Structure 1
Protein backbone atom coordinates (compact mmCIF):
# COMPACT_ATOMS: atom_id res chain seq x y z
CA UNK A 1 0.00 0.00 0.00
CA UNK A 2 1.28 3.47 -0.92
CA UNK A 3 0.01 5.13 2.23
CA UNK A 4 3.24 6.83 3.33
CA UNK A 5 4.06 10.20 1.84
CA UNK A 6 7.48 10.83 0.32
CA UNK A 7 6.58 14.45 -0.48
CA UNK A 8 3.78 16.79 0.49
CA UNK A 9 3.31 20.43 -0.47
CA UNK A 10 0.60 22.41 1.32
CA UNK A 11 -0.44 25.77 -0.16
CA UNK A 12 3.08 26.62 -1.35
CA UNK A 13 3.55 30.02 -3.01
CA UNK A 14 6.62 31.76 -4.38
CA UNK A 15 6.91 35.13 -6.10
CA UNK A 16 9.76 36.89 -7.87
CA UNK A 17 8.76 40.52 -7.63
CA UNK A 18 5.43 40.85 -9.44
CA UNK A 19 5.69 37.36 -11.01
CA UNK A 20 3.83 34.64 -9.09
CA UNK A 21 5.92 31.55 -9.91
CA UNK A 22 3.99 29.24 -7.54
CA UNK A 23 0.43 30.02 -6.54
CA UNK A 24 -1.05 28.00 -3.66
CA UNK A 25 0.33 24.65 -4.86
CA UNK A 26 -0.80 21.48 -3.09
CA UNK A 27 0.77 18.16 -4.09
CA UNK A 28 1.30 14.75 -2.52
CA UNK A 29 3.56 11.96 -3.80
CA UNK A 30 3.48 8.61 -2.01
CA UNK A 31 6.47 6.37 -1.44
CA UNK A 32 7.22 4.27 -4.50
CA UNK A 33 5.06 6.44 -6.77
CA UNK A 34 6.04 8.17 -10.01
CA UNK A 35 4.37 11.55 -10.36
CA UNK A 36 4.73 13.27 -13.74
CA UNK A 37 4.48 17.06 -13.81
CA UNK A 38 4.11 18.75 -17.17
CA UNK A 39 3.58 22.30 -18.34
CA UNK A 40 4.84 24.97 -20.69
CA UNK A 41 8.06 26.89 -20.10
CA UNK A 42 7.73 29.47 -17.35
CA UNK A 43 4.76 27.83 -15.63
CA UNK A 44 6.62 27.21 -12.36
CA UNK A 45 7.81 23.59 -12.68
CA UNK A 46 11.49 24.31 -12.03
CA UNK A 47 10.67 26.71 -9.21
CA UNK A 48 8.67 23.94 -7.56
CA UNK A 49 11.59 21.51 -7.92
CA UNK A 50 14.03 24.06 -6.46
CA UNK A 51 11.74 24.72 -3.50
CA UNK A 52 11.43 20.99 -2.80
CA UNK A 53 15.24 20.77 -2.80
CA UNK A 54 15.46 23.98 -0.72
CA UNK A 55 17.54 25.66 -3.41
CA UNK A 56 14.88 28.39 -3.30
CA UNK A 57 13.01 29.71 -0.26
CA UNK A 58 9.25 29.65 -0.72
CA UNK A 59 7.12 32.55 0.58
CA UNK A 60 4.12 30.74 2.04
CA UNK A 61 2.99 27.20 2.77
CA UNK A 62 4.70 24.04 3.99
CA UNK A 63 6.84 21.30 2.43
CA UNK A 64 7.18 17.86 4.02
CA UNK A 65 9.74 15.15 3.13
CA UNK A 66 9.07 11.66 4.48
CA UNK A 67 6.60 13.11 6.96
CA UNK A 68 9.05 15.69 8.33
CA UNK A 69 8.49 19.40 7.88
CA UNK A 70 11.19 21.30 5.96
CA UNK A 71 12.44 24.53 7.46
CA UNK A 72 12.97 27.43 5.08
CA UNK A 73 16.47 27.82 6.54
CA UNK A 74 17.67 24.37 7.67
CA UNK A 75 20.88 24.11 9.66
CA UNK A 76 23.86 22.08 8.45
CA UNK A 77 22.84 18.94 10.33
CA UNK A 78 19.35 19.01 8.86
CA UNK A 79 20.73 19.56 5.35
CA UNK A 80 22.87 16.43 5.71
CA UNK A 81 19.85 14.44 6.88
CA UNK A 82 17.80 15.62 3.91
CA UNK A 83 20.66 14.82 1.50
CA UNK A 84 20.09 11.16 2.35
CA UNK A 85 16.34 11.41 1.73
CA UNK A 86 16.10 13.34 -1.53
CA UNK A 87 18.17 14.07 -4.62
CA UNK A 88 17.79 15.94 -7.89
CA UNK A 89 18.79 15.43 -11.51
CA UNK A 90 18.95 18.67 -13.48
CA UNK A 91 18.14 19.28 -17.13
CA UNK A 92 21.75 19.81 -18.20
CA UNK A 93 23.85 16.88 -17.03
CA UNK A 94 27.02 18.55 -18.25
CA UNK A 95 26.30 21.79 -16.39
CA UNK A 96 25.69 20.01 -13.08
CA UNK A 97 29.04 18.15 -13.22
CA UNK A 98 32.61 19.39 -12.99
CA UNK A 99 33.89 18.54 -16.47
CA UNK A 100 37.47 18.38 -15.16
CA UNK A 101 36.61 15.70 -12.59
CA UNK A 102 36.93 11.98 -13.10
CA UNK A 103 33.82 9.82 -13.07
CA UNK A 104 35.07 8.31 -9.80
CA UNK A 105 35.22 11.78 -8.18
CA UNK A 106 31.65 12.57 -9.21
CA UNK A 107 30.31 9.34 -7.72
CA UNK A 108 32.24 9.81 -4.48
CA UNK A 109 30.99 13.37 -3.96
CA UNK A 110 27.70 12.54 -2.14
CA UNK A 111 29.54 10.22 0.24
CA UNK A 112 32.16 12.87 1.05
CA UNK A 113 29.53 15.54 1.70
CA UNK A 114 27.54 13.37 4.11
CA UNK A 115 30.53 11.62 5.69
CA UNK A 116 29.40 8.16 4.66
CA UNK A 117 31.91 5.41 3.75
CA UNK A 118 32.09 4.11 0.20
CA UNK A 119 33.90 1.20 -1.40
CA UNK A 120 34.85 0.25 -4.94
CA UNK A 121 32.03 -2.27 -5.31
CA UNK A 122 29.46 0.41 -4.49
CA UNK A 123 30.81 2.78 -7.14
CA UNK A 124 30.86 0.06 -9.80
CA UNK A 125 27.30 -0.92 -8.93
CA UNK A 126 26.14 2.67 -9.38
CA UNK A 127 27.61 2.76 -12.88
CA UNK A 128 26.11 -0.59 -13.83
CA UNK A 129 22.64 0.35 -12.55
CA UNK A 130 22.66 3.40 -14.81
CA UNK A 131 23.93 1.48 -17.83
CA UNK A 132 27.44 2.88 -17.77
CA UNK A 133 30.51 0.69 -18.30
CA UNK A 134 32.81 0.41 -15.29
CA UNK A 135 35.74 1.12 -17.63
CA UNK A 136 34.65 4.78 -17.50
CA UNK A 137 35.58 5.07 -13.82
CA UNK A 138 38.90 6.86 -14.39
CA UNK A 139 37.74 8.88 -17.39
CA UNK A 140 37.35 12.64 -17.28
CA UNK A 141 33.77 13.90 -17.51
CA UNK A 142 34.90 16.09 -20.42
CA UNK A 143 35.33 12.94 -22.55
CA UNK A 144 31.78 11.65 -22.03
CA UNK A 145 28.84 12.08 -24.39
CA UNK A 146 25.67 13.95 -23.46
CA UNK A 147 23.80 10.73 -22.74
CA UNK A 148 26.65 9.37 -20.61
CA UNK A 149 26.81 12.61 -18.63
CA UNK A 150 23.10 12.46 -17.88
CA UNK A 151 23.32 8.83 -16.77
CA UNK A 152 26.28 9.78 -14.57
CA UNK A 153 24.19 12.58 -13.03
CA UNK A 154 21.47 10.01 -12.28
CA UNK A 155 24.04 7.65 -10.72
CA UNK A 156 25.33 10.43 -8.48
CA UNK A 157 21.78 11.34 -7.43
CA UNK A 158 21.06 7.72 -6.45
CA UNK A 159 24.35 7.21 -4.59
CA UNK A 160 22.80 7.61 -1.12
CA UNK A 161 19.64 5.65 -2.03
CA UNK A 162 17.19 8.56 -1.56
CA UNK A 163 13.50 8.01 -0.87
CA UNK A 164 12.63 10.86 -3.27
CA UNK A 165 14.24 11.68 -6.62
CA UNK A 166 13.37 14.94 -8.38
CA UNK A 167 14.14 14.95 -12.11
CA UNK A 168 13.77 18.43 -13.61
CA UNK A 169 13.35 18.03 -17.38
CA UNK A 170 16.20 15.49 -17.49
CA UNK A 171 15.80 14.71 -21.20
CA UNK A 172 15.07 18.16 -22.65
CA UNK A 173 18.65 18.79 -23.80
CA UNK A 174 19.06 15.37 -25.48
CA UNK A 175 18.15 14.19 -28.96
CA UNK A 176 15.14 11.91 -29.42
CA UNK A 177 17.04 8.59 -29.41
CA UNK A 178 18.83 9.49 -26.17
CA UNK A 179 15.62 10.73 -24.59
CA UNK A 180 14.07 7.27 -24.89
CA UNK A 181 17.19 5.67 -23.37
CA UNK A 182 17.18 7.99 -20.34
CA UNK A 183 13.45 7.55 -19.77
CA UNK A 184 13.95 3.78 -19.78
CA UNK A 185 16.79 4.16 -17.24
CA UNK A 186 14.46 6.07 -14.93
CA UNK A 187 11.68 3.54 -15.39
CA UNK A 188 13.89 0.51 -14.69
CA UNK A 189 15.60 2.10 -11.69
CA UNK A 190 12.35 3.21 -10.10
CA UNK A 191 10.74 -0.20 -10.56
CA UNK A 192 13.70 -2.07 -9.03
CA UNK A 193 14.57 0.37 -6.23
CA UNK A 194 11.16 1.75 -5.36
CA UNK A 195 11.99 5.41 -4.72
CA UNK A 196 9.36 8.10 -5.24
CA UNK A 197 9.99 10.04 -8.45
CA UNK A 198 8.87 13.56 -9.33
CA UNK A 199 9.48 13.62 -13.08
CA UNK A 200 9.16 17.07 -14.61
CA UNK A 201 8.88 17.73 -18.33
CA UNK A 202 6.79 19.02 -21.20
CA UNK A 203 6.49 15.88 -23.35
CA UNK A 204 3.24 14.23 -22.26
CA UNK A 205 3.93 10.95 -24.08
CA UNK A 206 7.32 10.49 -22.41
CA UNK A 207 6.00 11.43 -18.98
CA UNK A 208 2.92 9.24 -19.28
CA UNK A 209 5.10 6.24 -20.21
CA UNK A 210 6.73 6.34 -16.77
CA UNK A 211 4.24 8.04 -14.45
CA UNK A 212 1.52 6.58 -12.23
CA UNK A 213 -0.18 9.99 -12.11
CA UNK A 214 0.25 13.14 -14.19
CA UNK A 215 -0.32 16.72 -13.07
CA UNK A 216 -0.40 19.84 -15.22
CA UNK A 217 0.99 23.22 -14.14
CA UNK A 218 -0.22 26.47 -15.64
CA UNK A 219 0.56 29.93 -14.37
CA UNK A 220 2.04 28.63 -11.13
CA UNK A 221 -0.99 26.51 -10.22
Structure 2
Protein backbone atom coordinates (compact mmCIF):
# COMPACT_ATOMS: atom_id res chain seq x y z
CA UNK A 1 0.00 0.00 0.00
CA UNK A 2 2.79 2.41 0.91
CA UNK A 3 4.52 1.60 -2.36
CA UNK A 4 1.33 2.45 -4.25
CA UNK A 5 1.08 5.78 -2.48
CA UNK A 6 4.70 6.66 -3.22
CA UNK A 7 4.30 5.66 -6.86
CA UNK A 8 1.10 7.71 -7.26
CA UNK A 9 2.67 10.77 -5.64
CA UNK A 10 5.77 10.51 -7.82
CA UNK A 11 3.58 10.17 -10.91
CA UNK A 12 1.44 13.25 -10.21
CA UNK A 13 3.60 15.30 -7.85
CA UNK A 14 3.95 18.22 -10.29
CA UNK A 15 0.20 18.48 -10.81
CA UNK A 16 -0.39 18.02 -7.09
CA UNK A 17 1.88 20.89 -6.07
CA UNK A 18 0.36 23.07 -8.76
CA UNK A 19 -3.12 22.29 -7.42
CA UNK A 20 -2.07 23.06 -3.85
CA UNK A 21 -0.63 26.38 -5.04
CA UNK A 22 -3.88 27.23 -6.81
CA UNK A 23 -5.83 26.47 -3.63
CA UNK A 24 -3.53 28.74 -1.63
CA UNK A 25 -4.04 31.55 -4.16
CA UNK A 26 -7.84 31.29 -4.05
CA UNK A 27 -8.01 30.98 -0.28
CA UNK A 28 -5.42 33.73 0.18
CA UNK A 29 -7.38 36.20 -1.94
CA UNK A 30 -10.61 35.27 -0.16
CA UNK A 31 -8.97 35.71 3.25
CA UNK A 32 -7.55 39.10 2.28
CA UNK A 33 -10.98 40.21 1.05
CA UNK A 34 -12.56 39.03 4.28
CA UNK A 35 -10.09 41.06 6.36
CA UNK A 36 -10.17 44.23 4.26
CA UNK A 37 -13.91 44.28 3.54
CA UNK A 38 -15.61 41.71 5.75
CA UNK A 39 -14.21 43.16 8.98
CA UNK A 40 -15.44 46.72 8.27
CA UNK A 41 -18.76 45.41 6.95
CA UNK A 42 -19.36 43.32 10.06
CA UNK A 43 -18.43 46.26 12.29
CA UNK A 44 -20.84 48.48 10.35
CA UNK A 45 -23.60 45.90 10.71
CA UNK A 46 -23.02 45.87 14.45
CA UNK A 47 -22.92 49.64 14.87
CA UNK A 48 -26.02 50.29 12.75
CA UNK A 49 -28.25 47.49 14.01
CA UNK A 50 -31.32 48.50 16.07
CA UNK A 51 -30.54 48.95 19.74
CA UNK A 52 -26.91 49.97 19.22
CA UNK A 53 -25.59 53.45 19.91
CA UNK A 54 -25.30 54.43 16.23
CA UNK A 55 -28.38 52.62 15.04
CA UNK A 56 -29.68 53.33 11.55
CA UNK A 57 -32.57 51.07 10.70
CA UNK A 58 -32.69 51.80 6.98
CA UNK A 59 -28.95 51.44 6.43
CA UNK A 60 -28.85 48.29 8.54
CA UNK A 61 -31.79 46.82 6.61
CA UNK A 62 -29.96 47.49 3.33
CA UNK A 63 -26.66 45.93 4.45
CA UNK A 64 -28.34 43.07 6.26
CA UNK A 65 -30.50 42.27 3.24
CA UNK A 66 -27.50 42.31 0.90
CA UNK A 67 -25.53 39.96 3.15
CA UNK A 68 -28.50 37.63 3.52
CA UNK A 69 -29.12 37.48 -0.22
CA UNK A 70 -25.52 36.57 -1.06
CA UNK A 71 -25.35 34.02 1.75
CA UNK A 72 -28.61 32.45 0.58
CA UNK A 73 -27.16 31.52 -2.82
CA UNK A 74 -26.00 27.90 -3.18
CA UNK A 75 -22.30 28.41 -3.82
CA UNK A 76 -22.17 26.63 -7.18
CA UNK A 77 -25.06 28.72 -8.49
CA UNK A 78 -23.44 31.86 -7.16
CA UNK A 79 -20.22 31.07 -9.04
CA UNK A 80 -22.18 30.70 -12.28
CA UNK A 81 -24.26 33.81 -11.54
CA UNK A 82 -21.06 35.83 -11.00
CA UNK A 83 -19.49 34.89 -14.34
CA UNK A 84 -20.38 38.24 -16.05
CA UNK A 85 -19.06 40.18 -13.05
CA UNK A 86 -15.93 38.04 -12.93
CA UNK A 87 -15.31 38.60 -16.63
CA UNK A 88 -15.75 42.36 -16.13
CA UNK A 89 -13.31 42.46 -13.17
CA UNK A 90 -10.47 40.23 -14.39
CA UNK A 91 -11.21 40.00 -18.11
CA UNK A 92 -11.97 36.28 -18.13
CA UNK A 93 -14.27 33.80 -16.41
CA UNK A 94 -11.73 30.96 -16.40
CA UNK A 95 -8.65 30.34 -14.30
CA UNK A 96 -7.57 30.59 -10.68
CA UNK A 97 -7.79 34.38 -10.50
CA UNK A 98 -11.28 34.36 -11.99
CA UNK A 99 -12.39 31.66 -9.56
CA UNK A 100 -11.20 33.86 -6.70
CA UNK A 101 -13.75 36.59 -7.48
CA UNK A 102 -16.97 34.82 -6.41
CA UNK A 103 -15.07 33.21 -3.54
CA UNK A 104 -13.98 36.66 -2.37
CA UNK A 105 -17.58 37.96 -2.45
CA UNK A 106 -18.75 35.02 -0.35
CA UNK A 107 -15.78 35.47 1.98
CA UNK A 108 -16.70 39.08 2.69
CA UNK A 109 -20.31 38.39 3.66
CA UNK A 110 -19.46 35.16 5.48
CA UNK A 111 -16.85 36.76 7.72
CA UNK A 112 -18.93 39.91 8.24
CA UNK A 113 -21.55 37.82 10.04
CA UNK A 114 -18.93 36.28 12.29
CA UNK A 115 -17.51 39.72 13.03
CA UNK A 116 -20.97 41.02 13.90
CA UNK A 117 -21.54 38.07 16.25
CA UNK A 118 -18.15 38.54 17.93
CA UNK A 119 -18.95 42.20 18.58
CA UNK A 120 -22.40 41.35 19.92
CA UNK A 121 -20.71 39.18 22.56
CA UNK A 122 -18.97 42.24 24.05
CA UNK A 123 -20.61 43.31 27.33
CA UNK A 124 -22.56 46.55 26.93
CA UNK A 125 -20.85 47.93 30.01
CA UNK A 126 -17.57 48.22 28.12
CA UNK A 127 -19.20 50.25 25.37
CA UNK A 128 -20.97 52.49 27.87
CA UNK A 129 -17.68 53.05 29.69
CA UNK A 130 -15.96 54.03 26.44
CA UNK A 131 -18.72 56.49 25.56
CA UNK A 132 -18.70 57.97 29.05
CA UNK A 133 -14.96 58.63 28.71
CA UNK A 134 -15.63 60.62 25.55
CA UNK A 135 -14.37 58.10 23.00
CA UNK A 136 -14.98 59.06 19.38
CA UNK A 137 -16.47 56.60 16.89
CA UNK A 138 -13.04 55.59 15.63
CA UNK A 139 -11.68 55.23 19.15
CA UNK A 140 -14.71 53.17 20.13
CA UNK A 141 -14.10 50.84 17.20
CA UNK A 142 -10.32 50.48 17.27
CA UNK A 143 -9.54 50.86 20.97
CA UNK A 144 -12.52 49.09 22.49
CA UNK A 145 -14.68 46.99 20.16
CA UNK A 146 -11.97 45.31 18.08
CA UNK A 147 -9.68 44.94 21.07
CA UNK A 148 -12.33 43.27 23.21
CA UNK A 149 -13.50 41.03 20.37
CA UNK A 150 -10.03 40.08 19.07
CA UNK A 151 -10.17 36.49 20.29
CA UNK A 152 -13.59 35.92 18.74
CA UNK A 153 -12.45 37.56 15.52
CA UNK A 154 -9.52 35.15 15.25
CA UNK A 155 -11.79 32.17 15.89
CA UNK A 156 -14.17 33.51 13.24
CA UNK A 157 -11.37 33.94 10.74
CA UNK A 158 -10.14 30.42 11.43
CA UNK A 159 -13.61 29.05 10.76
CA UNK A 160 -13.87 31.20 7.64
CA UNK A 161 -10.57 30.03 6.15
CA UNK A 162 -11.58 26.40 6.61
CA UNK A 163 -14.86 27.16 4.83
CA UNK A 164 -12.98 28.93 2.03
CA UNK A 165 -10.87 25.82 1.52
CA UNK A 166 -14.05 23.76 1.27
CA UNK A 167 -15.58 26.19 -1.24
CA UNK A 168 -12.40 26.23 -3.31
CA UNK A 169 -12.66 22.48 -3.97
CA UNK A 170 -15.52 23.04 -6.44
CA UNK A 171 -13.79 25.73 -8.47
CA UNK A 172 -12.92 23.26 -11.21
CA UNK A 173 -16.27 24.13 -12.83
CA UNK A 174 -14.81 27.50 -13.89
CA UNK A 175 -11.31 26.22 -14.55
CA UNK A 176 -10.04 27.47 -11.20
CA UNK A 177 -8.04 24.35 -10.46
CA UNK A 178 -7.16 23.64 -6.86
CA UNK A 179 -6.79 20.49 -4.85
CA UNK A 180 -10.45 19.49 -5.29
CA UNK A 181 -10.21 19.75 -9.06
CA UNK A 182 -7.00 17.70 -8.92
CA UNK A 183 -8.76 14.96 -6.95
CA UNK A 184 -11.60 14.80 -9.47
CA UNK A 185 -9.47 14.86 -12.61
CA UNK A 186 -6.58 12.64 -11.52
CA UNK A 187 -8.31 10.56 -8.88
CA UNK A 188 -11.97 10.04 -9.66
CA UNK A 189 -11.99 10.31 -13.46
CA UNK A 190 -8.88 8.14 -13.85
CA UNK A 191 -9.94 5.63 -11.20
CA UNK A 192 -6.82 6.40 -9.15
CA UNK A 193 -8.20 5.63 -5.69
CA UNK A 194 -4.81 6.21 -4.09
CA UNK A 195 -4.76 9.78 -5.40
CA UNK A 196 -8.19 10.40 -3.88
CA UNK A 197 -6.99 9.11 -0.52
CA UNK A 198 -3.78 11.17 -0.63
CA UNK A 199 -5.76 14.28 -1.50
CA UNK A 200 -8.16 13.72 1.39
CA UNK A 201 -5.24 13.24 3.78
CA UNK A 202 -3.65 16.48 2.55
CA UNK A 203 -6.92 18.35 3.12
CA UNK A 204 -7.31 16.91 6.61
CA UNK A 205 -3.75 17.89 7.55
CA UNK A 206 -4.23 21.39 6.13
CA UNK A 207 -7.54 22.00 7.89
CA UNK A 208 -6.30 20.62 11.22
CA UNK A 209 -3.17 22.77 11.03
CA UNK A 210 -5.23 25.90 10.42
CA UNK A 211 -7.66 25.03 13.23
CA UNK A 212 -4.91 24.35 15.75
CA UNK A 213 -3.05 27.52 14.80
CA UNK A 214 -6.21 29.61 15.04
CA UNK A 215 -7.09 28.16 18.45
CA UNK A 216 -3.56 28.81 19.71
CA UNK A 217 -3.57 32.45 18.55
CA UNK A 218 -7.04 32.97 20.02
CA UNK A 219 -5.95 31.69 23.44
CA UNK A 220 -2.74 33.74 23.25
CA UNK A 221 -4.49 37.08 22.68
CA UNK A 222 -7.51 36.43 24.91
CA UNK A 223 -6.87 38.56 27.99
CA UNK A 224 -10.27 38.11 29.59
**TM-score normalised by the chain length of structure 2:** 0.23
Larger Rg: 2
**TM-score normalised by the chain length of structure 1:** 0.23
Determine which structure has greater relative contact order: mean sequence separation of CA pairs < 8 Å that are 6+ residues apart, divided by chain length.
1
Whose helix fraction is larger, Structure 1's or Structure 2's?
A: 2
